[in-house]
Chain A
Amino acid sequence: AQTVTQSQPEMSVQEAETVTLSCTYDTSESDYYLFWYKQPPSRQMILVIRQEAYKQQNATENRFSVNFQKAAKSFSLKISDSQLGDAAMYFCAYRSARSGGGADGLTFGKGTHLIIQP
């Protein structure tokens, strides 16, 4: 079974600074997808960014980018120019590329609570 580990329960950053959230995962599969979801106080789960394991290029979405290290099974999220609206829980998630048998469900880490200091 796959596992996702987020070792930072809480992170704090000054507004306009850059912060990196860590995520590691364990899998025996070679083809999979990785995601970062944001959960603000409203509890809505919002997709931030995704990465296909077969792609070497790191995904980028505006101020959000990832550092995907497949060999190290590491998938960190970098948030540049942090804004107050970025304050939230951030969840790293894994999904197998293999369909069926539970493979389509997301496996989540425990989350990192990101605090933005004004």
Chain B
Amino acid sequence: DSGVTQTPKHLITATGQRVTLRCSPRSGDLSVYWYQQSLDQGLQFLIQYYNGEERAKGNILERFSAQQFPDLHSELNLSSLELGDSALYFCASSAAPDRVYEQYFGPGTRLTVT
């Protein structure tokens, strides 16, 4: 158990809908990362937050957004969902972004868009 929690574990929704994925980092970790794992694209970095502020962006679509709240939990919002958005979405956390603190991954949320 990495100490990173993600809810829900599974999510099934229809095209065009909007969903919110939730992540709670390990106790004391200030940095949260979101990744997408799909058969087509593999594992891709989406976005990072540090202590409530956006820190870095990867291959995140404009239909996707995220935020980190004062209690450090983070939410990833996916809107206008398409079939291709079906994937496993991971959240990871680390102590701080400025040093080589390892990123610890949550169990993931499997999103199925039908």
Contact check: which of B88, B102, B107 meets A35 at CB < 8 Å? B102
Contact check: which of A33, A37, A44 meets B100 at CB < 8 Å? A33
5 pairs from A and B in contact (CB 8 Å cutoff): A45-B90, A45-B105, A103-B56, A105-B35, A106-B45
Task: Indicate whether A75 reaches chain B with its CB closer than 8 angstroms.
Answer: no
* Bound Cα distance from A47 to B105, whole angstroms: 9
Contact in complex: B107, A104 (CB < 8 Å): no
Contact check: which of A35, A99, A102 meets B58 at CB < 8 Å? A102
* Bound Cα distance from A67 to B100, whole angstroms: 19
Task: Indicate whether A107 reaches chain B with its CB closer than 8 angstroms.
Answer: yes
Contact in complex: B108, A99 (CB < 8 Å): no
Interface residues of A in 60-118 (CB under 8 A from B): 91, 95, 97, 99-111
* Bound Cα distance from A105 to B100, whole angstroms: 11
> Main SS of chain A's interface residues?
loop
Task: Indicate whether A52 reaches chain B with its CB closer than 8 angstroms.
Answer: yes
Contact check: which of A46, A100, A107 meets B45 at CB < 8 Å? A107
Total number of B residues with any Cβ neighbor in A under 8 Å: 27
Contact in complex: B56, A110 (CB < 8 Å): no
* Bound Cα distance from A28 to B102, whole angstroms: 22
Total number of A residues with any Cβ neighbor in B under 8 Å: 27
Contact in complex: A44, B107 (CB < 8 Å): yes
Contact in complex: B98, A99 (CB < 8 Å): yes
Q: What 3 A-B pairs come out closest when comparing CB atoms?
A: A105-B45, A45-B105, A108-B43
Closest chain A CB from B109 CB (angstroms): 10
